Amino acid sequence: MAHIIDGKKIAAEARADIARRVGEFEEKTGIKPGLAVVIVGEDPASQVYVRNKEKACIEAGFYSEVHRMSAETTMDELLSKLDEIKNNDKIHGILVQLPLPKHLDEKAVIEAIPPEKDVDAFHAVNTGKIMIGDYSFLPCTPAGVMKMLEYENIDVTGKECVVVGRSNIVGKPMAMLLLHANGTVTICHSRTKDLAEVTRRADILVVAIGKANFITADMVKECAVVIDVGMNRNAEGKLCGDVDFAAVSEKASAITPVPGGVGVMTITMLLENALRAAEMAAKK
Ligand code: GUN
């Protein structure tokens, strides 16, 4: 039976440390680090994520603003909202919850956030910096995964790391962070031939494809470390990951659960980035 990596515990310790640093920063500078979150439309999953982000922010001592906009919001309206937020001195970090409604240009919205306030690290400037190993902001989900591996003393050096999924949010930056930690990294996706043959090579398997129970025990090497980034609802409406947890946990050496795994770490790393944004602004 695999060791279950307890995201909640790791996140709670990290958040307590962030809250302490937020307090110290405010005492020293008189500035309360501030995060603004923009959500457009009614996507139920996004609503839950945004509520959790807001709650975590307030609990850690940040100033928090959430801007809820209707699904019919135009590009002009969204960009002028971002302009207003950019010019608010109380706000150091800005995040636009994705996905946006189809009629909005996601790329143009991301590029409208100043790189020094881009706490998601989605802006081309920040993704470019990640590529060369110069991190102003670490991408939240991949950084959360790395923090979990570190906490569990799982050394990445020389390991076969397989990332399933090639999104800009998770798959691609995840591969970069594993590479910078000296892993031998393979990225798989929907066009990969014989996916199971590749995933079975993994000492560290990170899965981010958004399909419930997609990774079955036969796709996993004995004693692999399995990190499940998926956040899906199964037929009964219960939250579940991309990995068949019951079967794979019999074979892996360590595994993250859903919920209580990567998800809580993502928000923790967002707090880390928001504090960093405030620190950088104070230095200017
Ligand atoms: N949608 C799913 N994950 C994320 C994330 O990390 N940031 C933003 N902005 N939107 C998301």
Residue of minimum CA distance from atom 9 in ligand 1: 97
Q: What is the pTM of this model?
A: 0.96
β-strand partners of 255: 4, 226
120 is catalytic: yes
Give tens-digit pLDDT for 203-245: 999 999 999 999 999 999 999 999 999 999 988 989 999 999 9
Give tens-digit pLDDT for 248-263: 999 999 999 999 999 9
The one catalytic residue among 81, 97, 117, 172:
97
Of the candidates 119, 2, 108, 114, which has an alpha carbon nearest to the alpha carbon of residue 53? Answer: 119
Of the candidates 37, 157, 148, which has an alpha carbon nearest to the alpha carbon of residue 95? Answer: 37
Q: Which atom of ligand 1 is nearest to the CA of 46?
A: 1
Q: What is the mean pLDDT of residues 172-183?
A: 98
Task: Answer yes or no: is pLDDT of 93 > 90.
Answer: yes
For residue 96, report the distance from its CA to the centre of ligand 1, in Å.
Answer: 8
d(CA 202, CA 195) in angstroms, rounded, equals 11
Task: Look at residue 284 in the predicted model and tell me its pLDDT.
Answer: 83
d(CA 189, CA 195) in angstroms, rounded, equals 8
Of the candidates 215, 209, 121, 231, which has an alpha carbon nearest to the alpha carbon of residue 173? Answer: 121
For residue 62, report the distance from its CA to the centre of ligand 1, in Å.
Answer: 19
CB 136, CB 146: distance < 8 Å: no
For residue 97, report the distance from its CA to the centre of ligand 1, in Å.
Answer: 5
Query: For ligand 1, is residue 140 a contact (CB within 6 Å)?
Result: yes
Give tens-digit pLDDT for 31-90: 999 999 999 999 988 999 999 999 999 999 999 999 999 999 999 999 999 999 999 999
Task: Look at residue 235 in the predicted model and tell me its pLDDT.
Answer: 87
Handedness of CA 78, 84, 87, 90 (dihedral sign): negative
218 is catalytic: no
Task: Answer yes or no: is pLDDT of 173 > 90.
Answer: yes
Give the DSSP H/E element, type plus range, for residue 37.
strand 34-40
Task: Answer yes or no: is pLDDT of 153 > 90.
Answer: yes
Place of tokens 């996706």: 189
Query: For ligand 1, is residue 97 a contact (CB within 6 Å)?
Result: yes
d(CA 277, CA 186) in angstroms, rounded, equals 32
For residue 251, report the distance from its CA to the centre of ligand 1, in Å.
Answer: 31
